[in-house]
Amino acid sequence: MSATPEESRLFEPTRLGPLQLPNRLVMAPLTRNRATSDGVPTPLMAEYYAQRATAGLIIAEATTPNKVGQTFPDIPALHNDAHVVGWRQVTEAVRAAGGRMFVQLQHGGRVGHPDNSGLVPVAPSPVRLDEPVPTQKGRQEPVVPREMSIDDIKATVADFAVAARRAVDAGFDGVEVHAANGFLLHQFLAKGTNTRADSYGGSAAHRARFPLEVVEAVVEAIGAERVGVRIAPGLGVNGIEEGDSEDIYTALVDGLDALSPTYLHVVFADADNPLFQQIRKAWPGTLIGNPVLGWGDPLPVDGGKSAGERLLSAGADLISYGRGFLANPDLVHRLRTDAPLNDYRPDSFYGGGAEGYTDYPVLAERV
């Protein structure tokens, strides 16, 4: 006899460190560019996240730990007191709606522009991004990033730790360190962007050193039970060329195991991919799988439910969805009842106001 929707493991309660989660569904971090130009979260952002509080866990969008790490216009930050105050209104709204929330800490590295941050981007090596960068003045040609000195590396590690403490002060349950999608930590991991000849370049173990130092500092700052890490094995977004993915993630996962963050979040996870299977075998803790649903394609009719269930069967513990939650504040209910989904509107993904952000209807409004 086939399983009913209610029997799916996606809707089982579970634990993540000290957190009791009502289901295994995670709202993935999604850049939406609705903060102020100074990186302060807005009341509209509080409304947006509170609408989606039925997720087992919300991971808030990429948030910069320092000024030079800013990627695009109007993204949130966590490097001054105003940022903490702004984020606190968000976490309070989510908590009042019954939710739990981490925030993703992201340094853009070479993915940035002086028109956004006022500073020349920094990176492991002076390797220029090969695509235009969105700015307040429109899309601009990228600049050659400045190679980070050892002092820059140490300062950036410290900035991540301070941002993590600010996140806890702002009411977050924890932070996700972004080591994926072609941003700074991923740039250190990949051969194409890391051509250094010192102890932060060369072998896979050396290229993993900076990301591991960041995670270690964040764990020391707020405790391992409050720290997650996001990775993107083999993903070539933002011009990344890893070169030796199996070696990279062997070194990285081994190093993370010693630090014991509360979860590892694998982007575009494929249950049949040998590298995903290798990571699952090597990683002893909670694994979040983000299923491959096709970027730019319509959401599957089932919202990715079957893909999520396959990842659970392949060893994932939690399943993250991005566009599904973006377009469906009540995604958990829709997946549970096999209800139709709202179509997402790509034209309003990045920047703007309530349209395409907080105006997606819940099921009762749609019917």
Q: pTM of this prediction?
A: 0.96
pLDDT surpasses 60 at 6: no
Structure confidence at residue 365 (pLDDT) = 62
Q: Model confidence at 355, in pLDDT bands (50, 70, 90)?
A: very high
Residue 152 DSSP class? H
pLDDT surpasses 70 at 134: yes
Overall CATH class of domain 5-366:
alpha beta
Sign of the torsion angle spanned by Cα atoms 198, 63, 254, 193: negative
**DSSP helix/strand/coil, 130:** coil
Percent of the chain with pLDDT over 70: 98
- In the predicted model, what is the mean pLDDT of residues 228-241? 96
The CA dihedral of 299, 305, 307, 308, to the nearest 10 degrees, is: 120
Using an 8 Å Cβ cutoff, are 321 and 25 in contact? yes
Q: What is the pLDDT of residues 153-184, one digit of tens each?
A: 999 999 999 999 999 999 999 999 999 999 99
Q: What is the pLDDT of residues 185-210, one digit of tens each?
A: 999 999 999 999 999 999 999 999 99
What distance in Å separates the CA atoms of residue 269 and residue 276, rounded to the nearest whole number?
Answer: 7
1-5, 17-21, 105-109, 361-365: least confidently modelled range: 1-5
Q: What is the pLDDT of residues 19-47, one digit of tens each?
A: 999 999 999 999 999 999 999 999 999 99
